[in-house]
Amino acid sequence: MNLLAVGIAAGLAALGASIGIGLIVSKTVEGVSRQPEARGPLMTVMFIGIGVVEAVPIIAIVISFMLMFMF
């Protein structure tokens, strides 16, 4: 049962991160298409946002593995 819970937690974390990253990138592309001169600052903010969004599933997987081996 623990393995199923870990799999679901990892899958949902990956799904949420992929949706979040897709939204961040699509809005950045939209911003660059509206103002091409703001490409540099937009890309910087995009990479910071992607890093923050990507940290959440990594933390979720670590916590789920900790819980799996604890019980």
pLDDT above 90 for 6: no
pTM of the predicted model over 0.85: no
Mean pLDDT confidence for 66-71: 82
User: Are the C-beta atoms of 21 and 50 separated by less than 8 Å?
Assistant: yes
pLDDT single digits (tens) 13-33: 999 999 999 999 999 999 999
Contact 44, 1 (CB under 8 A): no
* Element containing residue 23 per DSSP (H, E): helix 2-34
Q: What percent of the chain has pLDDT over 70?
A: 99
> Domains in the chain: how many in total?
1
Closest CA to 44 of 58, 57, 31, 59: 31
Q: Does residue 48 surpass a pLDDT of 80? A: yes
In terms of residue numbers, what domain contains 46? 1-70
CATH number, position 39: 1.20.20.10
Q: Looking at residue 53, what is its pLDDT?
A: 94
